[in-house]
Structure 1
Amino acid sequence: MNLNHINLVVKDVDTAVNLFEKHLGFNLIVNRNSKMAVMENGNNFALVIWGQVLNNEENVPVYPKNFHVGFYQENEEAVWKVYENLKAEVGLQLESKPQKIRNTFGFYFLFENLMMEISVNPFTDGIV
């Protein structure tokens, strides 16, 4: 069984699409009036960006404590590259510089209230 898609609820669909496209390797399939977008990453996985407006709410969505989405990078150099690129994005909260976390190397950042992790896959030997 393969994971088909995940649905992330955000306030600003267009800004989320830009983030996932520009920094996280996703391609836009469709953007429906800036209310909902579908993206793919070339691995038979879709990301649905669901605008909070479709929930008849205007506020920034709140996710449960410790909920986050993680993205693996090939090695520490790739993690640093993503970090440096994200530093220039307005509206993101970078929690710290890349560092050893658990048994890998990476960092966390917030987009709206959604926490994301960028790290090296700890199950490969990409850790230096």
Structure 2
Amino acid sequence: MQLNHLNLTVKDVPATRTFFETYFDFRCTDPKLNDSLSVLTGPDNFLLVLMNQRFNDKENHTYPDAFHIGFYLEDKDAVNDMYQRLKDGGIVLDQAPQPMRKTFGFYLRFDTIMIEITTPVND
């Protein structure tokens, strides 16, 4: 069995789609670009579905405080490079890369999503 997709609700589908295309190598595989829904395919063929939060029938527009998605990179240099790339792109970053548990990385928020960028650290 394989997890093959994740559906996230966001405020701004086009901006979030562009964010994942620009920084995480996703490509939009949905032929109809709109502000309601986008289907993105990652480099490993994982599907990320972005849906406008107006489709939340019960009007729940927030994730739990600790909810996040994570990207593991190959090493500390890759984490630092991603941090700089995001910063140079004007993405708001509240935390610089640092040791976290048995990893090295940082968290950021984009739209309604908390994202972890990290790499395992061997002690």
CA distance in 2, matches of 1:88, 1:15: 17
Identity across the alignment (%): 41
SS in 1 for 2:17: helix
Change beyond 3 A, Cα 1:56–1:89: farther
Change beyond 3 A, Cα 1:32–1:94: same
**Given residue 48 of structure 1, which amino acid in structure 2 is its aligned partner?**
V
CA deviation after TM superposition for structure 1 residue 34, in Å: 1.8
After TM superposition, list the pairs within 5 Å mapping 1:5-20 onto structure 2.
5-20=5-20
Q: Number of residue pairs matched?
A: 122
Change beyond 3 A, Cα 1:2–1:107: same
CA distance in 2, matches of 1:112, 1:52: 11
2:6–2:49 CA contact under 8 A, matched in 1: yes
CA deviation after TM superposition for structure 1 residue 94, in Å: 1.7
TM-score of the pair, normalised by structure 2: 0.86
The aligned residue for residue 96 of structure 1 is 95
CA distance in 2, matches of 1:53, 1:6: 18
CA deviation after TM superposition for structure 1 residue 32, in Å: 4.2
SS in 2 for 1:50: strand
**Given residue 99 of structure 1, which amino acid in structure 2 is its aligned partner?**
Q
Give unmatched runs, 5+ long, in structure 1. Answer: none
2:14–2:34 CA contact under 8 A, matched in 1: no
Give unmatched runs, 5+ long, in structure 2. Answer: none
CA deviation after TM superposition for structure 1 residue 43, in Å: 1.6
Query: Is the strand fraction higher in 1 or 2?
Result: 1
CA distance in 2, matches of 1:40, 1:127: 31
The aligned residue for residue 67 of structure 1 is 67
- Deviation digits for residues 80-108 of structure 1 (CA, Å, limit 9, x no counterpart): 11111111344x44231001111011000
TM-score of the pair, normalised by structure 1: 0.83
CA distance in 2, matches of 1:102, 1:71: 16
Change beyond 3 A, Cα 1:51–1:82: same
Deviant stretches of 4+, over 2 Å: 53-59
The aligned residue for residue 119 of structure 1 is 118
Residue 51, structure 1, aligned to residue 52, structure 2: yes
SS in 2 for 1:94: coil
